[in-house]
Structure 1
Amino acid sequence: MRGLHLTADLRGVDPAQALMTEADALGSACREAVAAAGLQGVAELMHRFGPADGQGGITGVVLLAESHLAVHTWPELGAVTLDVYVCNYGGDNSAKAERLMATLVDLFAPAESNLQQLLRG
């Protein structure tokens, strides 16, 4: 169960970005980032909150063969939280998790970010 758990709290994100309010755009970006990092997505769910005008935030999860990616957007605050956890059973996936997190942070282009990591197990 040894693994690496990365989190990021992003502020100053442009709320007009499609990633902030469009579940399809966020899902596509997450799938591409997961694949580019060398991880294996096995399922996903993106849920948009808020009124029918499409301005609500999104909670999204991508289940990975290696564990998970979670994304939460708050367009009204210009904020995003990211959570990437990989198990290292059978091989060290830490560098892949770090690539995935870096890609996602770059996509949101925040004015400010607070990154943390926790070694699990």
Structure 2
Amino acid sequence: MQGLHLTADLHDCQCADFWLTEGTILLECLTRVVAVAKLNVVGQVAHHFPATPIGRGGVTVALLLAESHVCIHTWPEQGSVTLDIYVCNFGGDHSDAAKALQEALIALFAPRHVERNILHRGSITGHLV
């Protein structure tokens, strides 16, 4: 159950607009980046949100991984993105892959400001059932 959970809030993204609105393209890119990180996709979804009076609709893209998951949520009207990457380290340490994946995605969206969070999950001791 031990793992690494990385989140990042990306603000004032300077990427091309389609990265914030085209879930199919974003999903294809994410799948390639995950493969480069040597993580294994076991499921996927892309959901498009409708436009609102304040702007274009964003997307949520998620990959279910054998190692856990990666999700991207976009807010094109704000030029913002949130990233959520979790890898369990059962059977091997996937932490470096998660970190590389996060860096690749941050580079893709080219934010002017990034807020990062790191959570080390699970513990071998003290949680025996």
* TM-score bucket (shorter structure): over 0.9
| Whole-angstrom distance in 1 between the partners of 2:27 and 2:46 | 7
Shift of the alpha carbon at 1:15? 7.0
Paired amino acid for 1:11 = H
- The question of whether the paired residues in 1 share the 8 Å contact of 2:70 and 2:84 is answered with yes
TM-align CA RMSD: 1.4
1:59 aligned residue: 60
Give the % identical residues: 48
Shift of the alpha carbon at 1:14? 3.4
The structure with the largest alpha-carbon Rg is 2
Following TM superposition, where does structure 1 have runs of at least 4 consecutive aligned residues deviating by more than 4 angstroms? none
- The question of whether the paired residues in 1 share the 8 Å contact of 2:15 and 2:109 is answered with no
1:86 aligned residue: 87
1:18 aligned residue: 18
| Whole-angstrom distance in 2 between the partners of 1:103 and 1:17 | 18
The TM-score with structure 2 as length reference comes to 0.88
The runs of 5 or more residues in structure 1 that have no matched partner are none
- The question of whether the paired residues in 2 share the 8 Å contact of 1:15 and 1:76 is answered with no
- The question of whether the paired residues in 1 share the 8 Å contact of 2:42 and 2:64 is answered with yes
The runs of 5 or more residues in structure 2 that have no matched partner are 123-129
| Whole-angstrom distance in 1 between the partners of 2:61 and 2:33 | 14
Paired amino acid for 1:100 = L
Which SS does the other structure have where 1:92 is aligned? coil
Aligned residues: 119
1:68 aligned residue: 69
| Whole-angstrom distance in 2 between the partners of 1:107 and 1:101 | 10
2:112 aligned residue: 111
| Whole-angstrom distance in 2 between the partners of 1:96 and 1:22 | 25
2:48 aligned residue: 48
